[in-house]
Chains A and B, each alone.
Chain A
């Protein structure tokens, strides 16, 4: 079991230690006219990280899953581990998924809903089906605005490291969690995402999480993103905030 848990970590270490620029260019991946990898399209994860990013067994309505945390465990500070347990206890009412609020980053990526990457040279936008979330990743070199700012989805600034899209995200609030199991962060959260093609239909998605208020050290998640290869994929709508409500409809309709 330990070997299985360690394997993704070793793989990541191997990938990270290889200088991206030294790799031979993968000719089979889509590229934009200026030669950058072209991530345009509809993507989705295929895992159960939305329920729990750590290893977990099945419960009613929760599929079992091997976690996406590299090394298997989140390095909580002692007080934070206790808070995580309280979060787990109140997850059915206090989690953003129960309230239908914006879920933060990277959680929005591994919600089990498709998202469309809209890539232009100066900005890469990601339009998510889940609660209609939208991220704009500024690629024009402009720095993060000066904080403190507390946004639900943070402020995303990207650059290219060879064929890898690197996105630096800060300015979060402390209201979002990493999953439905109560894993959490503070407003000090700093996320670095790395998107790189495995092949034309798979992206390696690596995330570094840093939050000195909550964790003893930075830690990582890793998972593949799968291209939705239907001929005409659509990102539809999941505006859950009205599901249990009455809209403008008179009663009985």
Chain B
């Protein structure tokens, strides 16, 4: 139900498109005010020059294993908007105080700035997830498919490996290797879509800045159907201070969101003996998808 260019659209999407045009005009008028109102105080310290040791090719040496070190919402294995969705609050009888703070999503209300049609689809995704009758109702992660970015990087710690011209992030889940090219190479053609996208980066003092693009639309932000389109571009900032790694990822996806928004998570470098990372193989042992999808009542 994402409006896709050059393909047949359903009636509802035409209406949506009109709504988006109206929104765009409205945004242009009120944008400066909105931007000021949306400014949430950053949790990451400002970028400073790097004073620690360096790798042979001159990068700040940040290699090591990092684990999540942050009391915030539970994150991508639940709902990025956890504790901020009025509908959910009403349905479950909980209130916002029941949930840990601060929110991962750094908007004033802790919610993703969806366009109206996208908010509707997100609500439908969430409803479908709990009453799945089709495979596409399920979260990719629940099926042992890749998670995609930025979910993988918001969800868990990583091992950072540095070689000349590269930073590699290895995520334990599904043994994912992320290659960040520091050589200034040209971006991939937009038609190439990947679960984990294409990542090109550069160092600015103690901060690794990465542009991620070429992401497909199969990976959600979380289990409960927060989504993006294949137009998504992410700008990530990994800021290293002492043993801490502050992570801020900004999503730019004008097809789905009214404005860019940022998610924040913090990690700490693990010290002492770190266990050897061993094989994880999820898909090979997957046996339960059929049990997660109920047969359609009307189809019987």
Contact = CB atoms under 8 A, between A and B. Distances in A.
Interface of A: 33, 40, 99-102, 116, 118-120, 125, 127, 132-134, 136, 138, 142, 145, 151-153, 155, 175, 231-232, 234-237, 239, 241-242, 245-253
A31 to B, nearest CB: 13
B135 A246 contact: yes
B145 A127 contact: no
A136 B276 CA distance: 9
Contact of B175 (A100, A120, A132, A232): A132
Contacts of A239: 145-146, 195
A245 B194 CA distance: 16
Contacts of A237: 194-196
A76 B9 CA distance: 59
Best-buried of B136, B192, B284 by chain A (most CB within 10 Å): B284
B279 A235 contact: no
B177 A102 contact: no
B140 A100 contact: no
Contacts of A242: 145, 218
Contact of B276 (A142, A151, A250): A142
B134 interface: yes
A249 B179 CA distance: 27
Contacts of A250: 1, 136
Interface string B272-300: 00001111010110000000000000000
A170 to B, nearest CB: 13
Contacts of A101: 281, 283-284
Interface stretch (B44-52, B77-85, B180-188): B180-188
A138 B220 CA distance: 34
A232 B186 contact: yes
A33 B170 CA distance: 24
Best-buried of A175, A234, A251 by chain B (most CB within 10 Å): A234
Best-buried of A125, A151, A235 by chain B (most CB within 10 Å): A125
A33 B279 CA distance: 30
B279 A246 contact: no
Given A127-B179, A248-B139, 19 more contacts: A100-B283, A101-B281, A118-B163, A120-B161, A125-B161, A125-B177, A127-B177, A134-B170, A134-B177, A142-B276, A175-B284, A231-B185, A237-B196, A239-B145, A239-B195, A242-B145, A245-B135, A247-B218, A248-B137
A102 B276 contact: no
A132 B199 CA distance: 16
Contacts of A142: 276
Interface in B4-32: 4, 7-8, 10
Interface string B159-193: 00101101010100011110101010110100010
A232 B161 contact: no
A110 to B, nearest CB: 20
Contacts of A236: 192, 194
B4 A253 contact: yes
B183 A232 contact: yes
Contacts of A153: 279
B227 A248 contact: yes
B282 to A, nearest CB: 10
Contacts of A138: 276
A154 B220 CA distance: 31
A102 to B, nearest CB: 6
Nearest to A100: B283
Given A152-B279, A232-B186, A248-B138, A120 B163 contact: yes
Best-buried of A33, A236, A250 by chain B (most CB within 10 Å): A250
A248 B220 contact: yes
B217 interface: yes
Given A242-B218, A246-B135, A253 B56 contact: no
Interface in B127-166: 134-140, 144-146, 161, 163-164, 166
Contacts of B198: 234
18 contacts: A99-B284, A118-B161, A118-B163, A120-B63, A127-B168, A132-B176, A134-B175, A138-B276, A152-B279, A152-B284, A232-B186, A234-B198, A235-B179, A246-B134, A248-B137, A248-B139, A250-B136, A253-B2
B159 to A, nearest CB: 10
A237 B216 CA distance: 12
B65 interface: no
A232 B185 contact: yes
A231 B185 CA distance: 9
A40 B179 CA distance: 13
